[in-house]
C-alpha cells in the first residue's frame, strides 16, 4: 500500500487536490483495441527506416531512372480505369441493408476455412550407413566371486499363472467392446436411415412446393400477359376510333368546301383544253408502241433468217471445195505411184541382165541361193503392187 502524503508543517509547497494512488491496469493492454480503429502494428521486416545490407559499407540510395512520359500516362490511365472499375463495382454491388432500430450487424464467418489437400506429396526414405569403426573390444563384465551357497526353489504347474482364470477378464473386455461397437454401428445405421428418410420427405415436400410456386408464377405471368394484351387492344381500338372520327370530320369538311369548287375547276380545265380525246390518247400511248414493237420483231426475224441462209450456203460451198480438193489430191497420188512403179520395173530388169552377164563371165556354174529367191520374190511382189 502506498503511504499517504502528510501535509508538512513548513509552507515550502502547497497543493489543491489531495494526492491519490495512480490507477494502473493489472495486465498489459490488449493489442487489438475495442474500437473500430486499426492498431498501429510495426514490423521491422517492412520498416523503411531499417537499412538493408552490410554495416561497414557506405549506403548508396538506389538511382531512380528518369520517368517516361508514356509510362506515366499509361500508369495514370491504369489507375483511372481501376478507380472507375471500383466505383462501378461499388455502384452495382449488392450491399447489406442498414440494421433496424435497436439492432446491429454481426460479422459472421461464411467463407470456407478448411482447405482440402488434393495433391499428394511424394515421399521417399533414404538412409546412409557408415562403416563401423573397429574399436577396442568391450571389457568383460566383472563377476565377483561367489562366496555364499546356491539354493533352488521348486514351482509347481499352476502356481504362477492359470490360463483359464487369467483369460476371463480379457475375454470379457473383448466381447463387451465388440458388442458395444456393434450396437454403436447399428444405432448409427438406423440414424443414417432416419436422416435419409427425412431428407427424402423434405425433398418431396420441397419439390411439391416448388411445383406449386411455378404454377402460381405461370398463372400470374399469363394473367399479366392477358392484361397487357387487353390494354393494348383497348388502346388500339380507341386510337382507331379517333382516326375514324378525324377522317369523317375531314371528309365532311372537304365535301362541303369542294361542293362549289369542283364544277368551276372542271369547266375551266375543259375550256383550256386539258381534257383530251380518250381514243387518240389510247392510240398514241398504247397502239403505236405495240405496232412498232411487232414491226421490229418481224424485221429482226427476216434479218436472222437471211443470215442463217447465207451461213448455210457458205458452209455447203466450203464443203464442196474441200471435197474437190481431196479428189484432186487422190488423183495426184495415183499418178505419182504409177510413175514410181514404172521406174522400179526398169531398174529391176536392168539389174537382172547385169547379173546374168556376171554369171556367164565367171567359171563354173553357180547355184541359186534361198536368199536370191527371196529377193526375187520381193521384187515380184513390188512389181505387182
Per-residue pLDDT reduced to its tens digit, 311-356: 999 999 999 899 888 888 888 888 887 777 766 665 555 555 655 5
Half-sphere exposure of 293 (CA within 13 A, CB side): 6
Residue 261 is classified by DSSP as H
pLDDT value at 371 more than 90: no
pLDDT of residue 363: 46
* 136/226 Cα distance (integer angstroms): 109
Q: What torsion, rounded to 10 degrees, do the Cα atoms 42, 48, 53, 56 define?
A: -100
Q: What angle separates helix 163-258 from helix 261-271, to the nearest 10 degrees?
A: 70
* 299/293 Cα distance (integer angstroms): 10
Going by pLDDT thresholds of 50, 70 and 90, the confidence category of residue 129 is confident
Give per-residue pLDDT as tens, 153-183. Answer: 777 776 777 788 888 999 999 999 999 999 9
pLDDT of residue 367: 44
* 111/109 Cα distance (integer angstroms): 6
Domain ranges of the chain: 164-245, 281-341
Count of Cβ atoms closer than 10 Å to residue 379 Cβ: 17
Give per-residue pLDDT as tens, 276-299. Answer: 777 877 888 888 889 899 999 999
- pTM of the entire predicted model: 0.23
pLDDT of residue 369: 44
Give per-residue pLDDT as tens, 54-109. Answer: 767 666 666 666 767 878 888 899 999 999 988 888 877 777 778 888 888 888 77
* 214/220 Cα distance (integer angstroms): 10
* 315/321 Cα distance (integer angstroms): 10
335-350 b/e (C-beta count within 10 Å ≥ 16 → b): eeeeeeeeeeeeeeee
* 211/217 Cα distance (integer angstroms): 10
Residues with Cβ < 8 Å from 382, sequence gap 6 or more? 344, 348
Do 62 and 52 contact (CB within 8 A), yes or no?
no
Look-up: residue for cell 445405421? 189
Amino acid at each position: 500500500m502506498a503511504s499517504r502524503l502528510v501535509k508538512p508543517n513548513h509552507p515550502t509547497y502547497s497543493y489543491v487536490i489531495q494526492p491519490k494512488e495512480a490507477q494502473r491496469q493489472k495486465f498489459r493492454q490488449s493489442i487489438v483495441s475495442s474500437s473500430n480503429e486499426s492498431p498501429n502494428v510495426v514490423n521491422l521486416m517492412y520498416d523503411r527506416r531499417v537499412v538493408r545490407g552490410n554495416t561497414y559499407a557506405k549506403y548508396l540510395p538506389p538511382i531512380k531512372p528518369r520517368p517516361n512520359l508514356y509510362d506515366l500516362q499509361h500508369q495514370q490511365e491504369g489507375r483511372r480505369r481501376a478507380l472507375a472499375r471500383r466505383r462501378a463495382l461499388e455502384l452495382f454491388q449488392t450491399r447489406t441493408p442498414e440494421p433496424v432500430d435497436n439492432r446491429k450487424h454481426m460479422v459472421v464467418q461464411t467463407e470456407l476455412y478448411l482447405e482440402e489437400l488434393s495433391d499428394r506429396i511424394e515421399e521417399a526414405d533414404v538412409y546412409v550407413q557408415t562403416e563401423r569403426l573397429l574399436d577396442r573390444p568391450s571389457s568383460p563384465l566383472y563377476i565377483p566371486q561367489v562366496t555364499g551357497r546356491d539354493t533352488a526353489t521348486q514351482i509347481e504347474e499352476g502356481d504362477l499363472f492359470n490360463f483359464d482364470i487369467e483369460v476371463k477378464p480379457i475375454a470379457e473386455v473383448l466381447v463387451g467392446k465388440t458388442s458395444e461397437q456393434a450396437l454403436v454401428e447399428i444405432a448409427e445405421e438406423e440414424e443414417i436411415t432416419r436422416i435419409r428418410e427425412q431428407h427424402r420427405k423434405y425433398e418431396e415436400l420441397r419439390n411439391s412446393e416448388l411445383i406449386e410456386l411455378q404454377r402460381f408464377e405461370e398463372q400470374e405471368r399469363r394473367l399479366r400477359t392477358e392484361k397487357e394484351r387487353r390494354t393494348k387492344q383497348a388502346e388500339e381500338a380507341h386510337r382507331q376510333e379517333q382516326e375514324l372520327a378525324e377522317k369523317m370530320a375531314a371528309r365532311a369538311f372537304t365535301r362541303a368546301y369542294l361542293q362549289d369548287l369542283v364544277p368551276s375547276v372542271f369547266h375551266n380545265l375543259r375550256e383550256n383544253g386539258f381534257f383530251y380525246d380518250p381514243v387518240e390518247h389510247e392510240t398514241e400511248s398504247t397502239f403505236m408502241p405495240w405496232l412498232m414493237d411487232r414491226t421490229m420483231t418481224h424485221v429482226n426475224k427476216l434479218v436472222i433468217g437471211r443470215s442463217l441462209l447465207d451461213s448455210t450456203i457458205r458452209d455447203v460451198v466450203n464443203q464442196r471445195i474441200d471435197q474437190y480438193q481431196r479428189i484432186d489430191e487422190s488423183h495426184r497420188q495415183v499418178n505419182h505411184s504409177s510413175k514410181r512403179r514404172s521406174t522400179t520395173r526398169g531398174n529391176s530388169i536392168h539389174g537382172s541382165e547385169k547379173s546374168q552377164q556376171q554369171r556367164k563371165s565367171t567359171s563354173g556354174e553357180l547355184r541359186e541361193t534361198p536368199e536370191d529367191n527371196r529377193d526375187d520374190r520381193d521384187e515380184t511382189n513390188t512389181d505387182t503392187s
